[in-house]
Structure 1
Amino acid sequence: MAGPASEEKFCFREVLDSFRLCLSDSKDVHLEHYVAGWRGLVKFLNILGSVFGFISKDAVNKIKILAAYLAGEDGCRYVTVQSMVAYELDGGLVDLTGRGSHPESGCRTLLRLHRALRWLELFLERLRTSGEDSRTSVMCAEAYGESLSRHHPWVVRTAAGMAFCVLPGRPAFFAVMNVGPPEQAVAMLGAALPLISEVYQVTEELYAQHNLLELP
């Protein structure tokens, strides 16, 4: 794990605040806050060490792509996930077959983060509700099996399973959140996870509506 200085720079409240801002009153998902929420999640994973490298490295790459779209000349089209989907589909910018010329469309890029968000949501919910002696390796593997694993090749699934075996215990995760004693960390998760879940569900329904959930 990283040293104390790294932990001081991160507080799980960053993630909570970002996902709280993510949804508008009309349930549009603001991409800027979605990306900010993921930046916080990557900090959280990185402080825990290289165990989650197979997730965080890919997430960093996807965050950079989406940030570039937001800052680009068509950034106004990427203000929300809804506007991004409409713009890219209308413009033929989404590679629906895996053989086209738009392998890094915003829609495909966000889908990879969306899938990983489900894994983290499931894992953190187990972490929140588990007992002191519960094994984080089991919780993480179960969450992975219910979400990301079906999207990964065998070699990645095998590496992930080995990585989960060396996860630190439950107290270490709460300490890294940097929000106080364990009961405060549990409360913070209790506030953050419904927000993350709602953002996930809104995105899931939008992608399902447009048949984008299995983009290659």
Structure 2
Amino acid sequence: MGDPESDFNLKVILVSFKQCLTEDGQVLLDHYITSWKGLVRFLNSLGAIFSFISKDVVSKLQIMEGLRNSPQGEHYTSLQSMVAYEVGNKLVDIDRRSRPRYPNSGCRTVLRLHRALRWLQLFLEGLRTSPEDASTSTLCSDAYNTTLAAYHSWIIRQAVTVAFCTLPTRKVFLEAMNVGSSEQAVEMLGEALPFIENVYDISQKLYAEHSLLDLP
């Protein structure tokens, strides 16, 4: 057993998303929660700058753990079983006009995690494919504007954009992944990012099929 901090690297986290998927494409929520906890550790290791996302993610993970440990926990084994259960029992706020009756429904909670996962996936993909002198603040802003910005208030968007201006260089980011040199980090991202992408794509398709992508 080595030092847990030195064993901590982004490859382990990204590859853990592979365990979320069963052979028939079920997204296992226990593994999803665990994998996200790893991403939160990575975000927190980069300093307070991402706390606006990681704090929100942590609160959503707590809601999901509560549902998993509740008497209805068996319905929350996979993303598919959760959607079937909540949609089937009308435990989701499909109607956007009324105030949410189920603000902590699993479907709504995972949707927030799903959107944040897309932001992180696009940002890491941007780091992987960009030239050495690329601006991380631009990469992060582009990923944010494509994903989370639409769901945040103007005040949060302004604060986030300012915060991104203080991001470290691409080299610092890649080395923070704890997998060796910048080149090794880029190679690792190429191998490991598809695991996140697979989980994201299956979740996106499931939510689209049930018209859940715009839950209030």
TM (norm. structure 2) is 0.93
CA distance in 2, matches of 1:17, 1:115: 19
Match of 1:63 in 2: 61
Deviations 1:24-82 (A, max 9, x none): 11111111111111111111110101111110000000011111111222211111100
Structure 2 residue runs of 5 or longer lacking an equivalent are: none
**Mean Cα deviation higher: 195-204 or 169-178:** 169-178
Match in the other structure for 1:137? 137
* 1:6-155 alignment, distance < 5 Å: 8=6, 10-97=8-95, 99-155=99-155
CA contact 1:122–1:143 (8 Å) conserved in 2: yes
CA RMSD of aligned residues (A): 1.5
CA deviation after TM superposition for structure 1 residue 9, in Å: 5.8
Q: How many residues align?
A: 212
Residues 146-180 of structure 1, C-alpha deviations (whole Å, 9 max, x = no match): 11111111111111100100001112212221112
Distance 2:208 2:108 in 1: 13
Question: Shift of the alpha carbon at 1:100?
Answer: 4.0
Percent identity, aligned pairs only, is: 52
- Of 65-74 and 129-138, more deviation after overlay is shown by 65-74
**Which residue identity lines up with residue 26 of structure 1 in the other structure?**
D
Q: 1:137 to 1:7 in 2, by over 3 A?
A: farther
Letter in 1 for 2:167: L
Structure 1 length normalisation: TM-score? 0.93
Contact 1:6 1:47 (C-alpha < 8 Å) held by counterparts: no
